[in-house]
Amino acid sequence: MKRRMESDLPKDALRTIQEGTVAFTYRGVLCQKNPFDLALYSRLLFETGARSIVEIGSSAGGSALWFADTLRCYGRNPRIVSVDVNPVSGVNDPDVTFAQGTALALGEVLPESFLRELPRPWIVVEDSAHTYEVTRAVLRFFDPWLEVGEYAVVEDGIVNDLEGAEYRAFENGPNRAIFEHLDDRPGRYEIDSHYCDYFGHNFTWNTNGWLRRI
Ligand SMILES: C[S@@+](CC[C@H](N)C(=O)[O-])C[C@H]1O[C@@H](n2cnc3c(N)ncnc32)[C@H](O)[C@@H]1O
């Protein structure tokens, strides 16, 4: 039976957490994450022993900075690669590489020779357009690269729970893409309820989106 995709967080709480999330800053840089997901990522990064984070969707670069600081805090030598259609300026970190390109053609910006050099384990974070098409493209691109025990985190399935035309416009893209990707690749991924449900059923903006390669 398929997992429910909805979050059990009350609608009023979703709205106010979303308002805070989109304005949240880390070290003065916009970092659009909420306390649930910062806590869950801090555990995921520690528990997996992650060395590389490949993030699709940089925005201002605050999340890439947070990933780098967190992994350094754990004594790792991190490699953070963050791709966006728009350039990132004003964030300079020796362990973070920002690359400009589209999620729909990741091979152009992340060539094989570059990816092969990234230390394992990896965490892939899809946090770009949140449409069905883009989410599917990102999951497809990384499928042959992900090794057992690594994760692809699909962000912002919560758009389906948030009220308002701007969220309906995503047409439940992340959740639809997740289920189709899992159906297409039986036995290769599991939705990791340890992270999805740590604080309550889908008390995360990445509803059903913590995908473990098995
Ligand atoms: C939600 S923001 C990223 C937030 C950031 N990861 C954070 O946590 O602070 C989404 C970003 O995805 C980028 N984006 C949208 N569509 C894209 C695409 N097709 N390819 C690459 N980046 C895209 C936007 O320019 C925007 O900066």
Instruction: Delineate the domains of the chain, giving CATH numbers in brackets.
Output: 32-213 (3.40.50.150)
Tens-place pLDDT, residues 3-23: 999 999 999 999 999 999 999
Q: Whose CA is nearest to atom 11 of ligand 1?
A: 57
- Residue 2's pLDDT band (cuts 50, 70, 90): confident
Q: Whose CA is nearest to atom 23 of ligand 1?
A: 128
Tens-place pLDDT, residues 155-183: 999 999 999 999 999 999 999 999 999 99
The phi, psi pair for 107, rounded to 5°, reads -60, -25
Alpha-carbon distance of 203 to 137, in angstroms, equals 26
Quote the mean pLDDT of the chain.
98
Q: Whose CA is nearest to atom 2 of ligand 1?
A: 59
pLDDT attached to residue 37: 98
Give the nearest ligand 1 atom to 55 CA: 6
Q: Per-residue pLDDT averaged across 110-114, rounded?
A: 98
Residues 23, 28, 29, 34, CA torsion sign: negative
Alpha-carbon distance of 107 to 54, in angstroms, equals 13
Q: How far is the CA of 60 from the centre of ligand 1 (A)?
A: 9
Instruction: Give all strands (DSSP E) within the chain, no chain letters.
Output: 25-26, 29-30, 52-56, 79-84, 96-100, 122-126, 151-154, 189-191, 210-213
Q: Which of 180, 157, 182 is nearest to 170 (CA)?
A: 157
- Residue 151's pLDDT band (cuts 50, 70, 90): very high
Give the nearest ligand 1 atom to 30 CA: 9
Q: Is 96 in the pocket of ligand 1 (CB under 6 A)?
A: no
pLDDT attached to residue 51: 98
Enter the pTM of the model.
0.98
Q: How far is the CA of 59 from the centre of ligand 1 (A)?
A: 5
Q: Whose CA is nearest to atom 4 of ligand 1?
A: 59
Tokens of 16: 């106010």
Longest dimension (CA), the chain: 47
Q: Is 84 in the pocket of ligand 1 (CB under 6 A)?
A: yes
Q: How far is the CA of 56 from the centre of ligand 1 (A)?
A: 7
Q: Per-residue pLDDT averaged across 121-128, rounded?
A: 98
Side-chain half-sphere exposure of 183, counting CA atoms within 13 A = 9
Q: Is 91 in the pocket of ligand 1 (CB under 6 A)?
A: no
Residues 21, 66, 96, 104, CA torsion sign: negative
